[in-house]
């Protein structure tokens, strides 16, 4: 009998829709046939959410020492609140929510270090709350890097059978070029290819986007394509064995993916990739974080403060995120046999 993977679920920002989409997902008893879920977050917020949704579900506090998996109609929460938020409000940026959220990640990654989890997925985060709550990194990737004690964490977005990765993440636009190097392009290609291999049975076909208009026009509009991207592509073909091509103009490379000519795209900076992917599948993509002992996923949308606490949030993207975590955990188990 196939062993059910143990998946940690981190609530995310308390004031957003994370608790709602998680509770709605866990209200479906079929989830418990696919995995053993462990919920890390705020017990009071989960209780408020269950009451707001009017669901007949019990909320119990679990222990860190010997947690029990959640079961249908019962949510067991490993309460990670450093301090209970007595002035809690839906849709409000709150440093205390940020601190509690950071601690939930800390506790969950302690389980990862003890090999108690096979995958993680988390609800939407609010970066302002995290930074006001003490986060020293630009984003959650740096936080997870510290908690998992690895050198680098990258993200890959999966939308149906299309995948994308970016070389440069959350930095000011003026700092993109200084953060672009052949080594970093190769790292993005490597991480993207490894994720594609988890889902597709063929050799990954990867297209690399150009940095400059029309991919530089042979150097007329910039030399980064000739100086950085082409050498990285050639080296990547030899080193990884993937079918890598480019650099392609960044405004049209997405068409190659939609025509099934490539499986994944390496974009060079954050918005270059997100604009294209969100235009075709906003609220449908799943973010997959790589480089850690286990895969970590999250839905591709934000905290949606404007609808938090109103019982109108759609849990479909979180459900897909959890499904991807389960798939990745099961494939990791097969690879370890």
Examine the domain organization and report whether 101 and 245 are in the same domain.
Answer: no
Examine the domain organization and report whether 52 and 172 are in the same domain.
Answer: no
Q: What does the pLDDT read at residue 50? A: 97
What's the pTM?
A: 0.90
Cα(198)–Cα(147) distance, integer angstroms: 24
Examine the domain organization and report whether 103 and 185 are in the same domain.
Answer: no
Q: Which helix (H) or strand (E) holds 162?
A: strand 162-168
Q: Any idea how long the chain is? A: 337
Q: Is residue 159 part of a domain?
A: no
Examine the domain organization and report whether 134 and 252 are in the same domain.
Answer: no
Gap between the terminal Cα atoms of the chain: 14
Q: Is residue 160 part of a domain?
A: no
Q: Is residue 183 part of a domain?
A: yes
Q: Is residue 325 part of a domain?
A: yes
Q: Among 246, 265, 284, give the residue marking a domain's end.
A: 284
Q: Is residue 177 part of a domain?
A: yes
> What strands lie across the sheet with 6-10, from one edge to the other?
58-61, 74-79, 36-41, 6-10, 119-122, 296-299, 286-290, 154-159, 162-168, 264-269, 205-209, 243-248
Examine the domain organization and report whether 13 and 135 are in the same domain.
Answer: yes
Q: Is residue 335 part of a domain?
A: yes
- SS3 of residue 278 by DSSP: helix
Q: What does the pLDDT read at residue 227? A: 94
**pLDDT values of the chain reduced to their tens digit, one per residue, 337 residues:** 468 999 999 999 999 999 999 999 999 999 999 999 999 999 999 999 999 999 999 999 998 777 888 889 999 999 999 988 889 999 999 999 999 999 999 999 999 999 999 999 999 999 999 999 999 998 899 999 999 999 889 899 999 999 999 999 888 999 999 999 999 999 999 999 999 999 999 999 999 999 998 887 888 788 999 999 999 999 999 999 999 999 999 999 999 999 999 999 999 998 898 888 888 877 789 999 999 999 999 998 999 999 999 999 999 999 999 999 999 998 876 555 3
Examine the domain organization and report whether 11 and 112 are in the same domain.
Answer: yes
Angle value at C-alpha 237, between 234 and 242, nearest 5 degrees: 145
Examine the domain organization and report whether 240 and 119 are in the same domain.
Answer: no
Examine the domain organization and report whether 269 and 313 are in the same domain.
Answer: no
Cα(320)–Cα(322) distance, integer angstroms: 5
Q: Contact, 119 vs 295, CB < 8 A? A: yes
- Give the number of domains in the chain: 2
Domain range for 81: 1-153+291-337
HSE (side-chain half, CA atoms, 13 Å) at 132:
13
Examine the domain organization and report whether 318 and 219 are in the same domain.
Answer: no
Q: Is residue 316 part of a domain?
A: yes
* E strand spans, 45-98: 58-61, 74-79
289 DSSP β-pair partners = 155, 296
Examine the domain organization and report whether 171 and 120 are in the same domain.
Answer: no
What's the Cα-to-Cα distance from 312 to each of 97, 205, 212, 305, rounded to whole Å?
22, 39, 42, 12
Examine the domain organization and report whether 145 and 190 are in the same domain.
Answer: no
Buried b (16+ CB within 10 A) or exposed e, 89-107: ebeebbebbbbbbbbbbeb
Q: What does the pLDDT read at residue 157? A: 93
Q: What does the pLDDT read at residue 337? A: 39
β-strands 286-290, 296-299: how paired? antiparallel
DSSP state of 229: I
**For residue 271, which of 191, 170, 200 has the smallest C-alpha distance?**
170
Q: Is residue 161 part of a domain?
A: no
Examine the domain organization and report whether 257 and 328 are in the same domain.
Answer: no
| CATH number (domain holding residue 211) | 3.40.718.10
Angle value at C-alpha 264, between 263 and 269, nearest 5 degrees: 165
């Amino acid at each position: 009998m196939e062993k059910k993977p143990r998946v940690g679920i981190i609530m995310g920002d308390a004031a957003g829709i994370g608790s709602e989409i998680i509770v709605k997902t866990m209200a479906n008893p079929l989830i418990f046939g696919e995995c053993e879920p462990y919920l890390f977050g705020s017990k009071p917020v989960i209780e408020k959410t269950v009451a707001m949704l009017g669901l007949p579900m019990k909320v119990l506090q679990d222990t860190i020492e010997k947690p029990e998996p959640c079961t249908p109609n019962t949510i067991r929460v490993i309460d990670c609140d450093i301090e209970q938020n007595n002035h809690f409000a839906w849709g409000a940026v709150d440093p205390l929510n940020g601190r509690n959220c950071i601690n939930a990640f800390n506790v969950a990654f302690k389980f990862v270090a003890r090999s108690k989890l096979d995958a993680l997925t988390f609800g939407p985060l609010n970066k302002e709350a995290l930074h006001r709550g003490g986060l020293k990194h630009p984003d959650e990737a740096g936080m997870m890097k510290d908690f998992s004690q690895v050198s680098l964490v990258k993200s890959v977005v999966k939308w149906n059978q299309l995948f994308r990765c970016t070389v440069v993440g959350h930095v000011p636009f003026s700092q993109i070029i200084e953060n672009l190097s052949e080594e970093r392009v190769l790292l993005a290609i490597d991480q993207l290819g490894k994720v594609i291999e988890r889902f597709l049975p063929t050799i990954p076909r990867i297209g690399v986007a150009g940095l400059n208009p029309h991919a530089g026009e042979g150097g007329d509009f910039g030399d980064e394509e000739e100086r950085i991207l082409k050498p990285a592509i050639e080296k990547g073909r030899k080193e990884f064995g993937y079918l890598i091509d480019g650099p392609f103009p960044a405004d049209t490379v997405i068409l190659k993916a939609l025509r099934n000519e490539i499986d994944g795209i390496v974009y060079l900076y954050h918005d270059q990739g997100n604009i294209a992917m969100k235009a075709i599948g906003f609220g449908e993509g799943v973010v997959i974080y790589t480089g850690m002992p286990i895969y970590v996923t999250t839905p591709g949308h934000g905290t949606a403060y404007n609808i938090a606490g109103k019982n109108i949030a759609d849990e479909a993207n979180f459900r897909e995120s959890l499904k991807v975590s389960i798939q990745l955990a099961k494939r990791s188990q097969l690879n370890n046999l």
